Amino acid sequence: MNIKLIVLLAIIIVLSIFLIVNYVSGNIRNSVLNHLEDNLEFCEIEKENINVLSSSGVFWMTCNERPFYAEYKDGNIKYELNGWNWLENTDYWNELNTQCDFYYPEDGNLRFFCYENDEPVLKYYSFNRNSFTINKIKEENFVVVLTKDLKSKYSFLEQCGLTDYDASGTYAPYYVLYFSCDNQDYKVSTNLAYVFISPKDVTEVGIRTTFENVFGVEPNIENSKASASLSFGDITIYYSNASFSLVPSKELDIVMKELGNKFLLNFDNAEESVGIELVKDYNNMKFYKIDDVMVRIQILGNAINSIVQKREGFV
């Protein structure tokens, strides 16, 4: 056989194998990313190990700005602990696997709030994206950090003192913080996905002052309910059960940012945000991706009556 023909056939075979491997690898990769996106985990692959012959692979990713590990085998995607099981291979698994949950990242560091001796503690870890390893940096009192975050978001709390707090829950945390100010005492309730500020004593004066500080306008008050027309819709605040109702008057992407600035923790850059996208819409729920934060709103009739945020996907 002509040697040139043999060389040509060899090149064709090698190229075909290369194209097949790339095609199959791409399908596996897309299957993983599409599956996670369906669960509102928007991911970028940091490193991967795909075996085309066994139709399998392992993936280390960043999803919604937090580390995520998943495995693929014959069309099935598997991940445990909502993608956090890679922590089992670190030196810190024993201190993080009970009574801890993820808080917001800061300067590339991972932060977890934990309960130790019934006290909330925030633990900081540096994170290496290449090796998926962490190193502990420090610990802080979580309530102190949460207080700073709240004061940074709500400027009228800056000169107020924290007088008391209640903390409950582990994987479903709930905090109530009490602030004393010169002209008003406040009760701030949060599950870290939603923040609600009310007067400590629900009186007409307390409701009026609180509403004006949060929304910047004077409300109409009826019993423990306050309402007003804002630039983005007509809102009613129910101080008796820490809820609200908003009939929007502008496009939902504008409304989302405004509501985020009022009710969502660590949402300070929303007004400058350009990355807002409706990613899922079913029943009475709408899911938005705003930069690296997932936000869910609930709409009943023509009114929005719930908004929550989450860095891990809603599954």
Q: Are strands 195-199 and 110-116 parallel, antiparallel or unpaired?
A: unpaired
The per-residue pLDDT for range 186-198, each reduced to its tens digit, is 999 998 889 999 9
Would you state the structure tokens that stand for residue 145, as one six-digit string?
A: 């950090």
To the nearest whole number, what is the mean pLDDT of the chain?
Answer: 87
- Per residue in 41-52, pLDDT tens? 999 999 999 888
Q: What is the mean pLDDT of residues 17-29?
A: 74
123, 182, 197, 261 from 217: Cα distances, Å: 39, 20, 15, 15
Lowest mean pLDDT among 44-58, 160-174, 226-240, 286-300: 160-174
What single-letter amino acid sits at 99? Q
Say what the pTM is.
0.85
- Decide: helix, strand or coil at residue 166: strand
More confident residue, 307 or 273: 307
Strands (E), 64-99: 66-73, 76-78
pLDDT of residue 171 exceeding 60: no
Partners of 161 in the β-ladder: 180
Of 256, 265, 259, 276, nearest to 103 by C-alpha is 265
Give residue 24's identity as a one-letter amino acid code.
V
Question: In whole angstroms, how large is the CA radius of gyration of the chain?
Answer: 25
Domain parsing of the chain, residue ranges: 3-81, 90-142, 154-310
pLDDT at 279: 87
**pLDDT tens, 138-154?**
999 999 999 999 999 99
